[in-house]
Amino acid sequence: MRKYDSIIFIILSAAALTACGTPTTTALFKPHTTTTAKQMDLDQCKIASFRAIPQAYTTNYVGGFYDPGDIDCYRSRRHGRHERIYCDRLGGFYMPPASYTEDLNAPIRWRFVSACLRKKGYYLLPGKAPCRNAAERARALRAKNPAELSCNPDVNLDY
């Protein structure tokens, strides 16, 4: 293997393993409430938040980056007595400039939505992993208080 092949392999492996992690989401809990009712209440709170707090978009730019890599040279005598030098460039890459748009008011709008949902009687439970199977989801939907909620049964809610 070349000098940087093992480093690139380690970086790509770490990225792949990170992608396999268990996602966590915020669970909405209110006893005896269907997923449809939760989505309707969530939508009402989101609409109210957009009316109260306008969007404030900004575009951010990230400059590009060029790494020329290393040059690895070696000598060869394949052509009779004449010595030749061959060089290879290893590990170079270019990342082009990029831009992305973000809403600066999104965090405060989420706080508005959270307060609205609490006023409607919901508990917001962050960091709940999705239910692994139908039995676990059914048990979570029957929970009578937030302490009984072992997983998030509503991962398909449109937050």
The predicted-structure confidence for 116-126, as pLDDT tens digits, reads as follows: 999 999 999 99
Which residues make beta-bridge pairs with 75?
Answer: 85
> Does 86 map to a domain?
yes
pTM: 0.65
User: So what's the pLDDT on residue 85?
Assistant: 83
> Does 13 map to a domain?
no
Do 112 and 34 lie in a common domain? yes
Do 115 and 159 lie in a common domain? yes
- What is the number of alpha carbons within 13 Å of residue 14 lying toward its C-beta? 6
Do 109 and 159 lie in a common domain? yes
Do 65 and 98 lie in a common domain? yes
The mean per-residue pLDDT over the stretch 27-34 comes to 92
Residue-wise DSSP of 79-126: ETTEEEEEEEEES-EEE--EEEEEETTHHHHHHHHHHHHHHTTPEEEE
Q: Which is more confident, 134 or 11?
A: 134
Checking if the pLDDT of 19 tops 70, the result is no
Task: Give the count of domains, the chain.
Answer: 2
Closest CA to 136 of 124, 149, 155: 149
From CA 126, how far away is CA 149, in angstroms rounded? 12
Q: What percentage of the chain exceeds 90 in pLDDT?
A: 55
Could you tell me which residues come within 8 angstroms of residue 58 by beta carbon, excluding any fewer than 6 positions away?
101, 102, 104
Do 46 and 122 lie in a common domain? yes
> Does 6 map to a domain?
no
Q: Do the beta carbons of residue 91 and residue 70 sit within 8 Å? A: yes
> Does 42 map to a domain?
yes
Checking if the pLDDT of 139 tops 60, the result is yes
Residue 87: which domain range? 57-103
> Does 44 map to a domain?
yes
